[in-house]
Structure 1
Amino acid sequence: MSSLSLKARLSWLIGVVLVATLLVNVGILILHAGPRIRAEDETSLRLTRELVLMTVASIQETSDPAPALKRFYESLGTLRHVDVRVLPVGGSPLEPLARRPASAAELPGWFVALVDVPPRVSIIPVRVRGVDYGRIAIMSNPLDELAEIWSDVSWLALVSLLATSAILAIVLVIVRCSLTPFGHMQKALSELEAGRSNVRVALAGASEFRGIAGAVNSLATTLDQVKAENRSLLGELMRVQDDERKAIARDLHDEAGPCLFSIRAGAHAIGELAESDAPDLGRLRQITANVGKACEALQSLISGLLGRLRPRGLADFGLSDVLGGLIASWKVARPDVAVELIAPHDLTTLDEQTASTAYRVAQEAMTNVFRHAGASRASVAIEFAPFESSVEGDAEEECGAALRIVVEDDGKGIPERPQLGLGIIGMRERVQALGGRMTIEKRPEGGTRLTVYLPIADDGET
């Protein structure tokens, strides 16, 4: 039964209910058949007995009662629901007259046995002026009533069967039409699973199906938007990588090349001086100083390149010190914006990936503040806090520990329908890659607040 479709289950359920209703109705009819037949037999038996007694009493004054009794006996054969038999006495001129009982051949034996109404017999002696004319035996005949009830049951079963078949056919058509949106949703989900875009489900059918179709369409829209953002982000990432490679190549060519040439020239000059019999010590010192300056310049260039590729000192000094240096550089570059760093906890225990993501988030957020916010004050708060996996509903759910990063400003705030730039999309991708959560909202007092939660694994977690 578990492998049946919903349409088959509904059809079976309705069919079983209709058949059960039919059986209940037939059962009630059969259950009431016994008392009904007994009451009918008792009434027929009583009325026939009263008729016989009244007739016998009325012919008491007849001089010759035999013809009257014969006519009376013949009339008894027309009565329904009773069988009347005349039991003569010896030497009586009257022939026994008996009504032929109703045939029970058309009634099934199980039905007769199930109702189980035995016939009742009443015997009335016939004496006219002291002369015994025999006896009249009145026997109830329940077969007539049983035949009527069986006819009712048969017709009820036939009509119910036809009605059940018609209702099942109508239900199958209605169920098939009603469940058509399921097929459309299944096809749409299969197309989404295959990676196709612009998949939509028509809003048709019952309100429940319309709600599910709306949810599927919303999911498809979100997936299309995510795919578009991913393509845009990937293109931007490739462009940034190309620009970074070009910048590194340019720096190496413009700065590292002359340094290496100077070192090579100095080495060649030192080699020539070493071959002379009386080397010029002053020139040797000058060449050595030039080589040292070239090495320092080359080291400074390599240090700058490493700083661009990876935050300087993040592994050695910790996230707080590196952010402090970054904010100090911002204060020098933008003295019109007061920037505050709030880091009450020791962040040196953070793993490299979490610390690097937190640094990039704070860097990109403050870059957006300087470029777009028009703020006079900004703050960066970074601390340990419970990981809030949901902020909607009546209660907030907490799950483990997290590093919380809050960047606030008093600028013009975000519009009602913000257009997310590649920087924000990149931040969100970094945060989601670590299983975190990021929200951007307008502050009640003005400005913008960006909140990021980065989950921190327990020491015992694998």
Structure 2
Amino acid sequence: MTETSRGVTAAAWWPWLLLPAIASALVASGLVLGAATDLRFGEDVESFVNVPLALGFSTVAAGIWATRPDTRGLKRLGLLYTVVGLASAVVFPAHAWANAGRDLLGADFAGWLGEWVWALGAAPLMGIGLVLYPDGEVPGRRWWPVPVGGVLAVVLLAGTNALMAFEPTRAPAWEPIAFAAFVLLLACAGAGLVALCLRFVRAAPGSDLRGQVGAFLIAGFLVVGFAALPDGNTPAHLVIALMMGAALPATVASAVVRHRLLDQQALAARLETVSASRQALVTEREDERLRLRRDLHDGLGPSLAAIGLGLRQLQRDVPDTQHVVVTALADEVQRAVVEVRRLCDGLSPDALQDLGLSTALAEVADRLGALGGPEVVVTAGPLPPLPAAHEVVAYRVLMEATTNAVRHSGASRVTVGLHWADGLHGCVEDDGAGIPAGARAGVGLRAMTERADELGGRTTVGPSDTGGTRVSLWLPGVHP
């Protein structure tokens, strides 16, 4: 990883580190308050299970948001894990605050909050998270009732528990709804486990998808099984609760790091596909430009030249009164011929088409060397047949670099190298004064860089071994 990429990664992470920081602060406040008020930690199973959920999923959510996800699925997971992490973080200090005594300011509110906010912690993971793992999408359209039912179950659980805590006298009226919501939640969690099993079975052995789903599936079975067990406040229940609470965030984090839940391989593949598509477009563009040049050079150009020749012959035979008109027409045709030649050279240099890449560069070197400046030497190894786009880019980049060296370097010798080794390599090196410190890249250098970038190549500029400047070009090995 380059220094620039490290800086970009750090810059992306910093804003989202606030999520695990808030969760850690809430959990720490619950620990401190519990210790100060002699809260029996070993018997506080329901609140302690939220500690690993808070710390784990707030960190995972930060990791997802820091990548700036561009798919709805990853955004769903990011939102889900954010809610789970922060809600789980609130449960623990709320429970500790309420148990500190009613004389403490806000203890009643904390007690009420702790009675229902848990439904936004572990419950969404069971009813929604299992079926959406690992990409935030359901396995198929028929599976959408599962996350919808999970959302409904979470809302009903949170709402009924909030109402029962707010008006305890009316709790019996809400208990059947709360029980039905819990049953619905377990049903959605069971369906989510089935979906995970299907994903696991369908995934290719040894694939990243199977690695993502496997451990999460085991953790999901354990968590759902633990949720269905009778309540208990023994130390054994506490240990099991902590293990179960840590299982899901640990497996998700493992998928992020080891099995690329954020799908870095897929991202790299997409980037590679985009790069290949861009190269194909550039190659197709250059091929089309070459065909257009041939049509102009072999069709329109000769036709215009023939018309011009006929007009020049007509000049001698027409009366003086028409001589001016014919001359003007002949001059206009001549200007059109010149313009066609200019267009042809712009579409693809004449020397490149007539001589080939190596010989065309040697012709440029001879022309520049004849100006009385530095000696220009071209050394070229054998080259395979190259696409038109590669030839044009190599010719224009190396010609521009050679021209710059002759005009501006103050060198006595300029060397142009061209060879093939896992791609097309070109180099222009001089023994001049080198690039001044602090000099900015000019239009020519930016154009050279952009030309190479279009084909997935690169252009670099640095000092040469003789103290001058070295311009290096590399284009990937693509054969026509």
Give the alignment's TM-score, normalised by structure 2.
0.36
Larger RCO (alpha carbons 8 Å, 6+ apart): 2
* More helix per residue: 2
Give the alignment's TM-score, normalised by structure 1.
0.37
* More strand per residue: 1
Rg larger in 1 or in 2?
A: 1
